[in-house]
Structure 1
Amino acid sequence: MNDAFPDLDHLLVAATTLALVVACVLLHFEVSSVLSRRMRRTSPSRRRRFLGLMLGLLAAHVAEIWLFGLAAWWLEGTTSGAVAGTPMTSGLDYVYLSAITYTTLGYGDVFPEGALRLLMGTESLTGFMLITWSASLTFLEMQRHWNDRG
């Protein structure tokens, strides 16, 4: 086999990665849009609106982490990609791997090998961008709140 062309494992990981990125960006867009509209309403209280914003964004991030984690679990069983380090014994181990990747915390006890590196590397970039998006939305809403008070 010629190393210049990706094998089927890499193509499957690439296609899955693309689908996950699109799904996570769309999910984040929809959640952010709904939460942003809710912030502009006069009721309930501002306190409730900000708590709703923070909990809603957190829920979106957790859902995105789970999507990547479950995909990594499936791909490890389907492709030649692997996770090295501490043995992975359940789906929650893959969610943990996804969480440390998504948040760009970094690898220590577990890390991807082979074809899974593409998925996890792209997850880091996606997570960084979506976390930044959430921080920007939160800042804009807080700024709007401060300007309305003064």
Structure 2
Amino acid sequence: MKMADDKRKRDSRIGTASRSKKTTRCDLIVIFGALAAHTVEITFYGFVFWGLHSYRVFGEIVGEISNGWVDFLYFSVTNYTTLGVGDIRAEGPIRLIASSEALTGLVLLSWTASFTYLSMENFWKRR
């Protein structure tokens, strides 16, 4: 009888370890997937700002820029995260795109934080 109980306990622990590894792996995939999605979106907006700045029809990005790609990526990151440092700023109609990026970033970063918390809470309950 004791051997059967020991075997049952051991089998249940093995199943739990297997499930928790799978859950952890899934959580990491979700977190790094969200990080990759944010990076892609920031990069996309950076290309949009770079392209619109070169035509100057829709306004321009002004401030401490050297017209390099990194400056527009930096501007996109500060907009997306709503940091808004101010050393580089948008002027003209391009400001509408910059403000929409800030709103999009605020919503998506908040959603990602909420989703990550709920996912981890679900993981902690199963343990």
1:5-29 Cα shifts (integer Å, max 9, x gaps): xxxxxxxxxxxxxxxxxxxxxxxxx
TM-score, with structure 1 as normaliser:
0.66
Larger Rg: 2
In structure 1, what is the Cα distance between the partners aligned to 2:66 and 2:30?
A: 34
Q: How large is the Cα RMSD of the aligned pairs?
A: 1.6
Q: Give unpaired runs (5+ residues) of structure 2.
A: 1-18
**Structure 2 equivalent of residue 50 of structure 1:** 27
Instruction: Say which of 80, 94, 99 aligns to 1:121.
Output: 99
1:59-85 Cα shifts (integer Å, max 9, x gaps): 100000011110111111222411111
TM-score, with structure 2 as normaliser:
0.77
Matches within 5 A, 1:19-30: none
Determine if the alignment matches structure 1 residue 132 to structure 2 residue 110: yes
In structure 1, what is the Cα distance between the partners aligned to 2:107 and 2:24?
A: 27
Determine if the alignment matches structure 1 residue 103 to structure 2 residue 81: yes
**Structure 1 equivalent of residue 13 of structure 2:** none
In structure 2, what is the Cα distance between the partners aligned to 1:147 and 1:80?
A: 51
Aligned pairs, how many? 108
Give % identity. 39
Larger RCO (alpha carbons 8 Å, 6+ apart): 1
